Amino acid sequence: MTTPDRPAEQPFLEIKDLSVAFPTEDGLVRAVEGVSLSIERGRTLAIVGESGSGKSVTAQAIMGLIDRKVAKVTGEIWLDGQELIGLPANELQALRGGKVAMIFQDPMSSLHPFYRVGDQITEAINAHRSMRAKAARAIALEMLRRVGIPAADRRIDDYPHQLSGGMRQRVMIAMALINAPELLIADEPTTALDVTVQAQILELIASLQGEFGITVIMITHDLGIVADVADDVAVMYGGRIVEVASTGVLYAQPEMPYTLGLLSSIPRMDRELSARLEPIPGNPPSPIQLPPGCVFQPRCTYSDRVAGGTCLNVRPDLLETAPGHLVRCHLPAEERRQISQGVLNVLAGGS
Amino acid sequence: MTTETGEILRVSDLRTYFPVRSHALIPRVIGQVKAVDGVSFQVGSAETLGLVGESGSGKTTVARSVLMLVRPTSGQIVIDGQEITHLSPKALMPMRRKAQMIFQDPYNALNPRHTVGGIIGAPYRIQGIEPPGGVRAAVQALMERVGLNPEHYNRYPNEFSGGQRQRIGIARAIALRPKLIVCDEPVSALDVSIQAQIINLLRDLQQEFGLSYLFVAHDLAVVRQISHRVAVMYLGHLMEMAPRETIYAAPLHPYTHSLLSAVPIPDPKLQKERSRIMLEGDLPSPINPPSGCVFRTRCFQAQERCSVEVPPLIEVAPGHQVACHFPVATLPAGIETALATLENQPGVPVRRPQPAGDQVSSAQLDRLPADGRPDSTPVRPKVRVGRSR
Ligand SMILES: Nc1ncnc2c1ncn2[C@@H]1O[C@H](COP(=O)(O)OP(=O)(O)OP(=O)(O)O)[C@@H](O)[C@H]1O
Ligand SMILES: Nc1ncnc2c1ncn2[C@@H]1O[C@H](COP(=O)(O)OP(=O)(O)OP(=O)(O)O)[C@@H](O)[C@H]1O
Ligand code: SF4
Ligand code: SF4
Ligand SMILES: [Mg+2]
Ligand SMILES: [Mg+2]
């Protein structure tokens, strides 16, 4: 991907110290805390993590979709030189569906059940530019073809319920891409789909990304999908980013014990069958009662290797362990690498 | 690894159809969903049969039919030697001691107004059984066994996480020491780190109690981890059934190949280099399934014969059954070795996969002129091996 003329130190999207908290009856839900990320133009960043780790809330914050009346949002989000958190609602509205677009897990939640899919797409066009109805329809039709809807000239007049899950997701993608976004956020876009359809949709997103040079944030909990599509990966746990690396590094040299735990728990078809899986013990923390030290500490098998109960009491920072590779863990880097290589060797069938 | 000492479940030619009604004021039956259309298999004692397939292929309907939670349209179901399809709901009660179910959704499967103790103890009450030491002691022992804190006896389901709720469902299912547990997507709603805990628990319980599982799931890696044998379903039919090693290492059905190759592998190098079969389209409607082989509208191997003749499920090797007129061995890497072993088996029709362009595609089949020869309209190849990137 070629980068246009711009200062190299300024990434296309940069999130600085983003926090989102929801005051609720049960207490303050700290959904996202101190998330910092940056993405270069044209690349794909995957965000992985367990349910409740804050992936969707992060995405919603970038899209300006978090209701300020119910949540406290702090930090900065810079998109192509423009700060988004301080932006007035009407300017955010103009960005959404234009320069930035989003695809959700459940297409039915963003397709209106009573309107024909073609009309919904032309409405999305009209929200950002004025155009004659006929021309808009032609563009919509072309995009439906482009995303692989068979017999698009007939399907354009269908209602969402007349389409299969995979086709609805294609319509969603068509709608997201109709105004040529520069940033596409896909929040679990294939979780509701079968593997064969998932493969189609992921390939579609990848090819459209290549064609239009779109920057993609792919939110998923599936490490197979990450391996398939991502250039870089951010691992989230308990509302924070605990590890960031390029995809190859994350799978070959993970350092954060949680990442290691994730890689150990998944059954893998490409490996000799092991008698037992190695799950991460325990359950993820409640965002209302986060542990005071490292949020992963209650489930971490290595916390006693750090002297003085530091893991219990002190929040670790996200620090660079190698260029482009950030880890949030108190363990010395050398020790983390040793642990990691040991675990990965066992997983690969060595001893 | 299979310890086959007997047969716990035998399903023969199971058909479960659902009526489709019109939306009129007085609805009429206007068709049938053939959710399960002639499925046969058996499960041995202490054995796990994995059942995989796409959404809508009929897995849940098989699972529910086996326990008579929906009434099959026809066919036989024999649990531990007893045929149950003709039994009245009352006569089914003793069978429920032998066969239990675990559901996908740990959130909806548990009654939110009952305590955990009440939920796990329900099977005793329903069956009128007083376990030695009393229900409470028995339930607490079960809670301990599945990894729940017995002190949480009086808590309500909403106080538990998804993984813990699934443990509650498992404790309830094993309360009566059944022989068979039908698991419908028991880990699909759970995070991977929790999934692994539950899979390990199910395996331990199997070894401890000699349980048999019918394990329904769409995640092929999970099914491989837990199953001794695997059955692949598509649109109400079994496509292939074989011991685990065979299904994953040497499948023969084009659909099994497609499924396996669609699963992304969590290794960026392997995943980006590997070639894959890309199936086009979606599952057809089970109300109006394709003629002949139900997979033919998406199959890269489809020939004329596939549209007219239903392929029967044939045993091609001991324990390996395939329903396909033109089965294929490994595609395309390793094809020589796999085919070689296959060609040595008499009676197995083997076709080497051809370049996609030369094939009669299913789209062409749909437009077959009267003389049966495809017209000359070029169609997109049904299979693309490799990635477009
Ligand atoms: N509007 C809200 N009010 C209160 N809490 C919220 C709200 N939205 C999200 N949360 C909480 O914030 C936390 C993070 O949620 P988020 O949706 O980002 O998780 P996620 O990582 O996307 O999980 P999943 O994989 O389940 O989609 C969760 O504990 C969630 O319950
Ligand atoms: N009670 C019902 N009435 C009418 N149709 C039904 C009923 N239950 C299931 N079906 C239909 O039968 C077919 C098979 O459904 P089933 O739930 O068994 O599939 P499945 O393989 O379990 O899918 P999934 O992976 O989505 O759970 C589907 O087309 C479904 O719509
Ligand atoms: S900081 Fe401590 S508890 Fe947290 S991951 Fe590292 S070793 Fe484990
Ligand atoms: S080759 Fe024919 S019979 Fe075999 S799966 Fe394909 S369509 Fe069905
Ligand atoms: Mg989410
Ligand atoms: Mg189901």
Report residue B253 as tokens.
């059905």
**Which residue of B282, B382, B384 is the best one to mutate when testing the A interface, meaning the one whose CB has the most A CBs within 10 A?**
B282
Is the distance from the beta carbon of residue B252 to the nearest atom of ligand 4 less than 6 Å? no
Question: Is pLDDT larger for residue B346 or for residue B31?
Answer: B31
Quickly list DSSP for A119-183. HHHHHHHHTTS---HHHHHHHHHHHHHHTT-TTHHHHTT--GGGS-HHHHHHHHHHHHHTT--SE
- Residue/partner pairs of B29-35 with CB below 8 Å, 24 or more apart: B31/B287, B31/B288, B32/B287, B33/B286, B33/B287, B34/B236, B34/B286, B34/B287, B34/B289, B35/B61, B35/B236, B35/B286
pLDDT tens per residue across span B143-157: 999 999 999 999 999
Nearest-angstrom CA–CA distance, B184 and B104:
6
The tens digit of pLDDT for each residue in A261-308 reads 999 999 988 888 877 888 999 989 999 999 999 999 999 999 999 998
Nearest residue (by CA) to ligand 2, atom 22, is B60
B346 touches chain A (CB under 8 A): no
Across the range B263-287, mean pLDDT stands at: 84
- The Cα of A287 is separated from the nearest Cα of chain B by a number of Å equal to 13
**Which of A194, A221, A268 is opposite residue B55, by nearest beta carbon?**
A194
Question: Parallel, antiparallel, or unpaired: how do β-strands A240-246 and A232-237 relate?
Answer: antiparallel
Q: Is B383 helix (H, G, I), strand (E, B) or coil?
A: coil
Alpha-carbon distances of B11 from B36, B39, B67, B165, B179, rounded to whole Å: 12, 7, 11, 30, 16
**DSSP state letter for A191:** T
DSSP of B148-174, one letter per residue? --GGGGG--GGGS-HHHHHHHHHHHHH
Q: Quickly list DSSP for A241-272.
A: EEEEEEHHHHHHS--SHHHHHHHHHS--TTSP
* For residue B349, pLDDT beyond 90: no
Q: Which of A43, A48, A221, A228 to mutate to test the interface with B (most CBs of B within 10 A)?
A: A228
Please tell me the distance from the alpha carbon of residue B136 to that of residue B121, in angstroms, as a whole number: 8
Contact B97, B127 (CB under 8 A): yes
Looking at chain B, the domain(s) classified CATH 3.40.50.300 span 7-244
**What pLDDT does residue B200 have?**
94
Q: Give the CA diameter of chain A.
A: 71
**What distance in angstroms lies between residue A9's CA and the mean position of ligand 2's atoms?**
53
Interchain pair B200, A203: CB under 8 A: no
Strand-strand pairing, A325-328 and B7-21: unpaired
Least confident of A38-47, A56-65, B160-169, B361-370: B361-370
The answer, yes or no, to whether residue B363 has pLDDT greater than 80, is: no
- Split at pLDDT 50, 70, 90, the class of B2 is very low
Check pocket membership of B187 for ligand 2, CB cut-off 6 A: no
Residues 6+ apart with CB under 8 A from A161: A113
Q: Does ligand 2 lie within 6 Å of residue B16's CB atom? A: no
Is the Cα dihedral B127, B132, B133, B136 positive or negative?
negative
Orientation of helix B162-174 relative to helix B116-127, angle to 10°: 20
Instruction: Give the burial class of A310: count Cβ atoms within 10 A of its Cβ; 0-12 exposed, 13-18 middle, 19 or more buried.
Output: middle
CA of B66 to the centre of ligand 1 (A): 38
Q: Which residues of B touch A51 (CB under 8 A)?
A: 162, 191
Comparing CB atoms, the residue among B220, B281, B388 nearest residue A269 is B220
| Contact predicate A234/A241, CB 8 Å | yes
Tens-binned pLDDT, residue by residue, of chain A (351 aa): 444 454 556 899 999 999 999 999 989 999 999 999 999 999 999 999 999 999 999 999 999 999 888 999 999 999 999 999 989 989 998 899 889 999 988 777 778 989 999 999 999 999 888 889 999 999 999 999 888 888 899 999 999 988 888 888 889 999 999 998 999 999 999 887 888 888 888 988 898 898 889 999 999 999 999 999 999 999 999 999 999 999 999 999 999 999 999 999 999 888 888 778 889 999 899 999 999 999 999 999 999 999 989 999 999 999 999 999 999 999 999 999 999 999 999 888 765
Q: Return mean pLDDT, chain B.
A: 83
ipTM of the complex: 0.87
Q: Are A224 and B265 in contact, with CB atoms under 8 Å apart?
A: yes
Q: If contacts are CB pairs under 8 Å, which of residues 175-194 in chain B contact chain A?
A: 191-194
| CB pairs < 8 Å spanning A and B | 136
pLDDT-derived band at B388 (thresholds 50, 70, 90) equals very low
Confidence of residue B332 (pLDDT cuts 50, 70, 90): very low
SS3 content of chain B, % helix, strand, coil (to 5): 30, 20, 45
**Residue A31 in contact with ligand 1 by CB distance below 6 A:** yes
Half-sphere exposure of B108 (CA within 13 A, CB side): 4
Whether the CB-CB separation of A268 and B266 falls below 8 Å is answered with yes
- Asked if pLDDT for residue B218 goes beyond 80, the answer is yes
DSSP collapsed to 3 states, A55-82:
HHHHHHHHCCCCCCCCCEEEEEEEECCE
Structure tokens at A171: 């319509």
pLDDT at B272 over 50: yes
Q: Is A327 in the pocket of ligand 3 (CB under 6 A)?
A: no
For residue B337, the model assigns a pLDDT of 29
Contact yes or no for B280 and A200 at CB 8 A? yes
CA of B60 to the centre of ligand 6 (A): 4
Q: Cα dist. A251→A44, A296, B267 in Å?
A: 16, 19, 7
For the segment B312-320, the average pLDDT, to the nearest whole number, is 96
CATH for B7-244, options being 3.10.20.30, 3.40.120.10, 3.90.550.10, 3.40.50.300 = 3.40.50.300
Q: What backbone torsions phi and psi does residue B295 show, to the nearest 5 degrees?
A: -90, -5
Higher pLDDT pick, A57 / B373: A57
State which of B237, B253, B293, B294 you would mutate to test the pocket of ligand 4, scoring each by most atoms of that ligand within 8 A of its C-beta.
Answer: B293
